[in-house]
Amino acid sequence: MENSLLRTNKEIEEIYERHIDMVYLVCSAYMKNHADTQDAAQNTFINLMKWNGEFKNAEHEKAWLLRTAINLCKNSLSHWWRKSADIADYEQISCESQFEVDETLQAIMDLPTRYKSVVILYYYEGYASSNVQKASFHHSLPLARSKKTFERGVRS
């Protein structure tokens, strides 16, 4: 059976160039170390290459990548290996970061998981608060509750 690609290498490269910084930032907020962040960002784009769907517009493309990155990070963080490994064993590992972590980004990374993505989407990606609910992990919550979570995340 012959597989047909919906996206050419050039199209994938263009999507990558447009969104790698955003995907990396979201993954970094969840994973908190350079190597795992790179893996999650890479896996996000691998999923893009495997996905046979079409994007309706640029916002749909961006939201799909964000949702995929967040899901991959959450799946990775809930993996059995992370629950059984002692993080103290890995404190001495150092690696270069792709971007500088300032006080603001550090504060976002220290937020509870449920607030991270809404704050990143609003402040770094410029989403309107009503669109944060659609693009974040709160898509299954009622809009009023999602807005309350967003407000709490901003206050934190």
**Alpha carbon distance 70, 15 (integer Å):** 18
Q: Is there a contact between 55 and 48 (Cβ–Cβ < 8 Å)?
A: no
CB proximity list for 82: less than 8 A, separation 6 or greater: 76
pLDDT in tens, 126-155: 666 666 656 554 455 555 665 666 667 666
Place of tokens 């407000």: 151
* Tokens coding 138: 């709160």
User: Alpha helix (H) ranges present in 32-57?
Assistant: 34-50
Residue 122 has pLDDT above 90, yes or no: no
Domains and CATH numbers, the chain: 1-99 (1.10.1740), 102-156 (no CATH)
Q: How confident is the model at residue 46 (pLDDT cuts 50, 70, 90)?
A: very high
> 115: how many CB neighbours lie within 10 A of its CB?
19
Least confident residue range of 58-62, 96-100, 129-133: 96-100
The whole model's pTM is what? 0.60
Q: How confident is the model at residue 2 (pLDDT cuts 50, 70, 90)?
A: very low
**Alpha carbon distance 33, 30 (integer Å):** 9
